Amino acid sequence: MSSRTPKPSDDEALQSGRRRATINDVARLAGVSKKTVSRVINRSPSVRPETREKIEAVIARYGYAPDPQARGLAFRRSFLIGLIYDNPNPQYVVNMQLGLLDGMRGSGFELVVHPCDRGSTTLVPDIRAFIERQKLFGVVLTPSVSEDEAVAEMLREIGCEYVRVASVAVDSEAHSIVTRDRHGGLLAGRHLAELGHRRVGFISGPDRFRSSHERRGGFEEGLKEHGVALAADCVAEGAYTFESGMEAAARLLALKDRPTAIFAGNDEMAAGVLHAARRAGLSVPGDLSVIGFDDFQIASRVWPPLTTIRAPTREIGRLAADRLLGVTEGDKRDPEWRLPSLVVRDSTAAPGKQEP
Amino acid sequence: MSSRTPKPSDDEALQSGRRRATINDVARLAGVSKKTVSRVINRSPSVRPETREKIEAVIARYGYAPDPQARGLAFRRSFLIGLIYDNPNPQYVVNMQLGLLDGMRGSGFELVVHPCDRGSTTLVPDIRAFIERQKLFGVVLTPSVSEDEAVAEMLREIGCEYVRVASVAVDSEAHSIVTRDRHGGLLAGRHLAELGHRRVGFISGPDRFRSSHERRGGFEEGLKEHGVALAADCVAEGAYTFESGMEAAARLLALKDRPTAIFAGNDEMAAGVLHAARRAGLSVPGDLSVIGFDDFQIASRVWPPLTTIRAPTREIGRLAADRLLGVTEGDKRDPEWRLPSLVVRDSTAAPGKQEP
DNA sequence: ACCTCGCCAGACACCGGTGTCAACGCCCGC
DNA sequence: GCGGGCGTTGACACCGGTGTCTGGCGAGGT
């Protein structure tokens, strides 16, 4: 009996569930010191099996769960994980959140969201304040902030756990989750080349996104396998937004020798391409094939439904959470399962072919 | 000097910013007790102005910020706000999150997200565990969980602050934020009736969403102003999903006397209506006018761009956060600013009119 | 001059956990 | 029989704040 005896009404409240059990209650009811209970909670090996069982029985009986705040105070670290992102696409954000939550389920951790502005001059201090204020256990960064070295540097400096999701390894293996966008681009290139397209266009994302370059690189590689080259005048820079896709497509479609197919860096821009094609009086896929990237909901909502590259964002999120929490099981699975894959719908066809 | 003197290295770390200041540091450096510093932090009136200023100077000098964990432990309440939702629409979720964050900025609170399944048999205990585990300061509920009385009952029982976002007042004024979906429906009805439509269709959301009924009620009201009635056979139930919208529209368009316009309960379903119309060989808005609800991104991505009702989700989120944090300023503004509004694009026209 | 009251500030316990270190019992070897 | 080492446990301080209660002090009433 380590702490002072409680008032009788206290135990009553405990029984009825009106009061949550604390470590002191468990210690008292199990006839051990709170430190020993703490050892059981933290899976310390130096507890005799009988003692452990006795304590675990009390824990189960009263549904005791340690208070993360108190634990965090002593550990100097909270049980919160932050998602730091600047990608404005709602579907990306939500899928990532869902994936992270998948991986965090049952761990006792919670997810705190933190959108940010990569262009802000106070980006690094803002993120730092966010982390230090709540003493976050760790953070997950997604493109494009995940590609910011100043941010990563700061995270190392303050000793915060982190995982960077990016299209290529931008950090040590322990700190990166690679989405392999290059492979997605490759599939897009192959698909168009196999359909017989020879003059193809590409609309990239913004330069600061690593994925813009990876998707393009893979695309060129896929084309090349079939002897097709991406002409310089058939490349336009977009901003991963619908409007930018529309504008970039308008430029490409105004070319004297316009491409018969366009690979847009994401679905949003691909939707913009569809609008531009319609304005130009071109039918898709009859006069122009269009392929997107992401396979977000929009891909199947537009007309014609978009052929696109499915990026397993939710699965990537799950993996990121696993990594942060030290679960390594997920990493061992066949890496193929988290590779981008081709989803063929109705926006691509052989060049010159009429719609059915 | 209340606590033991620190090692010289400690103060050095403080100066250089390697160590964050604690309340003990501030107390020592200001020559007062930590309790007095606590009073300043909590804006207790019983502190002499000179003392307060002295302490505030030290706080500013060292950039001291109280530790939410320690504060939370003593307060028996964290500085976290939970967003509990079951709406699967990513854009809704993200807009709501952004609105909440708008309202929480600078408050020292953070946002924890918690998707849930309204249909789960463990819904109430799951939410309860979520709240009690992290001792959430408060939660924001959005449709349709916001309309669940069992959940609200539990929140009252455990004394958790909460705000319910719903289309009508489902709770006391302090606990509800009303989105006035009825008004949006009214605008849709008026718009179609004013264009000259006499036979119109409606695709509702799921029955358990209060908004389904409100949008319909308002729609009928708007039609009625112009002497138009909503025929029973022109109403179909959807599920707020693209597929359900497509199926419901297919049914309505197969009617012998098919409607010349359809109001879909949200944009997702309206996109489904567009697909169904195309399949049926109908042009929009030439043969069929379509109007949606939400004005999410998809509305302007599809073809033709959708006339729709803009729901100010982000603003509503901001209001919810203000309410939870006890800020009342936002409530006083002209309530018009957070009413749904009509956004006219290209999917509605007078009946029988050809596309340009 | 004395008592009371209100204002202000501090001492101390407490919130619910963990780290450190010492004590205990037991088995081993000499 | 005794010292040493190991496995197990507990006492106590501590993490960084807040609640309660008490005491010192000056102003106001009698």
pLDDT digits (tens, 9 = 90+) for B165-187: 999 999 998 999 999 999 999 99
CB contact under 8 A, A20 and B132: yes
Interface test with A, best of B80, B95, B301 (most A CBs within 10 A): B301
Chain B residue closest in CA terms to A71 = B69
Of B73, B110, B111, the CB nearest to A69: B73
Query: How far is Cα B52 from Cα B56, in angstroms, rounded to an integer?
Result: 6
Over range A125-153, report the average pLDDT: 95
Over range B105-113, report the average pLDDT: 94
Q: What is the pLDDT of residue B287?
A: 97
Bases in strand D with any atom closer than 7 Å to a protein CB: 7-12, 14-20
B20 close contact with A: CB closer than 8 A: yes
A36 close contact with B: CB closer than 8 A: no
Q: Give CA B333 to chain center in angstroms.
A: 18
CB contact under 8 A, A134 and B110: yes
HSE toward the beta carbon, residue A139, CA cutoff 13 A = 28
HSE toward the beta carbon, residue B81, CA cutoff 13 A = 28
Whether A140 and A163 have beta carbons less than 8 Å apart is answered as yes
Q: How confident is the model at residue B115 (pLDDT cuts 50, 70, 90)?
A: very high
Render B327-341 in DSSP notation, one character per residue.
--HHHHS-GGGGS-E
Over range A311-334, report the average pLDDT: 85
Q: What is the per-residue pLDDT across A215-233, written as a single tens digit (0 to 9) for each? A: 999 999 999 999 999 999 9
Does B12 score more than 80 pLDDT?
no
A135 close contact with B: CB closer than 8 A: yes
Q: What is the pLDDT of residue B2?
A: 38
Q: How confident is the model at residue B353 (pLDDT cuts 50, 70, 90)?
A: low
**Which residue did the predictor score with more confidence, B235 or A46?**
B235
Contacts of A20 in chain B (CB under 8 A): 132
Of A69, A94, A271, the CB nearest to B69: A69
Contacts of A110 in chain B (CB under 8 A): 80, 112, 114, 130, 133-134
A264 close contact with B: CB closer than 8 A: no
Q: What is the pLDDT of residue B332?
A: 63
Residue with tokens 């006339």: B307
The number of residues in chain B equals 356
The count of other CB atoms within 10 Å of the CB of residue A354 is 9
Beta carbon pairs, A and B, within 8 Å: 108
- Give the B window 279-308 contacts with A, CB below 8 Å: 297-298, 300-303
Q: What is the pLDDT of residue B250?
A: 98
Token digits of residue A352: 């010159």
CB contact under 8 A, A303 and B275: yes
In degrees rounded to 5, what are phi and psi of residue A303? -125, 130
Q: What is the pLDDT of residue A338?
A: 83
**Closest-lying nucleotide for A33 based on CA to C1':** D10
Q: What is the pLDDT of residue B344?
A: 98
Interface test with A, best of B107, B113, B269 (most A CBs within 10 A): B113
Query: How far is Cα B266 from Cα B202, in angstroms, rounded to an integer?
Result: 11
CB contact under 8 A, B303 and A72: no
Contacts of A135 in chain B (CB under 8 A): 67, 69
pTM over 0.85: yes
Residue with tokens 């026209």: B349
Over range B298-318, report the average pLDDT: 97
Of A67, A133, A297, the CB nearest to B68: A133
Q: Give CA A177 to chain center in angstroms.
A: 9
Query: How far is Cα B27 from Cα B35, in angstroms, rounded to an integer?
Result: 8
Does A333 score more than 70 pLDDT?
no
Supply the mean pLDDT for chain B. Answer: 92
Contacts of A64 in chain B (CB under 8 A): none
Cis ω for the linkage preceding A144 (within 30 of 0): yes
With a pLDDT cut of 70, the percent of chain B lying above it is: 94
Single out the residue of B272, B231, B226 nearest to residue B248, CA to CA: B272
Q: What is the pLDDT of residue A19?
A: 87
A77 close contact with B: CB closer than 8 A: no
Chain A residue closest in CA terms to B93 = A94
Of A70, A78, A298, the CB nearest to B301: A298
Does A355 score more than 70 pLDDT?
no
Of B98, B101, B113, the CB nearest to A97: B113
Q: What is the pLDDT of residue A13?
A: 74
CB contact under 8 A, B101 and A94: no
Render A17-68 in DSSP notation, one character per residue.
TSS---HHHHHHHHTS-HHHHHHHHTT-S-S-HHHHHHHHHHHHHHT----H
Does B330 score more than 90 pLDDT?
no
Query: How far is Cα A137 from Cα A151, in angstroms, rounded to an integer?
Result: 16
**Closest-lying nucleotide for A1 based on CA to C1':** D10
Chain B closest CA to A228's CA: distance in Å?
31
B135 CA → C28 C1’, Å: 51
Kindly report which listed range (A31-45, B11-25, B45-59) carries the lowest average pLDDT score.
B11-25
Query: How far is Cα A285 from Cα A277, in angstroms, rounded to an integer?
Result: 10
Bases in strand C with any atom closer than 7 Å to a protein CB: 7-12, 14-20
Residue type, A146: S
Query: How far is Cα A196 from Cα A352, in angstroms, rounded to an integer?
Result: 10
B51 CA → C3 C1’, Å: 29
A20 close contact with B: CB closer than 8 A: yes
Over range A199-227, report the average pLDDT: 97
Query: How far is Cα A172 from Cα B174, in angstroms, rounded to an integer?
Result: 50
B132 close contact with A: CB closer than 8 A: yes
Cis ω for the linkage preceding B285 (within 30 of 0): yes
Over range A185-197, report the average pLDDT: 98
**Which residue did the predictor score with more confidence, B329 or B347?**
B347
Single out the residue of A33, A22, A114 nearest to residue A70, CA to CA: A22
Q: Which own/partner contact pairs does B60-66 have at CB distance under 8 Å and 24+ positions apart? A: B62/B14, B62/B21, B62/B25, B62/B26, B62/B29, B63/B17, B63/B21, B64/B20, B64/B21, B64/B22, B64/B23, B64/B25, B64/B26, B65/A133, B65/B20, B65/B108, B66/B23, B66/B41
Does A356 score more than 50 pLDDT?
no
Supply the mean pLDDT for chain A. Answer: 93
Over range B222-243, report the average pLDDT: 97
Kindly report which listed range (A2-16, B130-144, B200-214) carries the lowest average pLDDT score.
A2-16
A77: CB within 7 A of chain C nucleic strand? no
Q: What is the pLDDT of residue B1?
A: 37
Single out the residue of A94, A82, A81 nearest to residue A294, CA to CA: A94
CB contact under 8 A, B303 and A274: yes
Of A65, A114, A275, the CB nearest to B133: A65
Residue with tokens 């006035």: B180
Chain A residue closest in CA terms to B87 = A94
B/e letters for A309-332, b = 16+ CB within 10 Å, e = fewer, are bbbbbbbbbbbbbbbbbeeeebee
Query: How far is Cα B188 from Cα B204, in angstroms, rounded to an integer?
Result: 13
Of B108, B112, B271, the CB nearest to A112: B112
Q: What is the pLDDT of residue B83?
A: 98
What torsion, rounded to 10 degrees, do the Cα atoms B155, B159, B163, B164 define? 20
- Give the B window 178-217 contacts with A, CB below 8 Å: none
In degrees rounded to 5, what are phi and psi of residue B111? -105, 125
Does A330 score more than 70 pLDDT?
no
Whether B264 and B245 have beta carbons less than 8 Å apart is answered as yes
Chain B closest CA to A177's CA: distance in Å?
23
Does A3 score more than 80 pLDDT?
no
Does A2 score more than 90 pLDDT?
no
Q: Which residues pair with B278 in a beta bridge?
A: none
CB contact under 8 A, B110 and A297: no
Q: How confident is the model at residue B334 (pLDDT cuts 50, 70, 90)?
A: low
Does A30 score more than 60 pLDDT?
yes
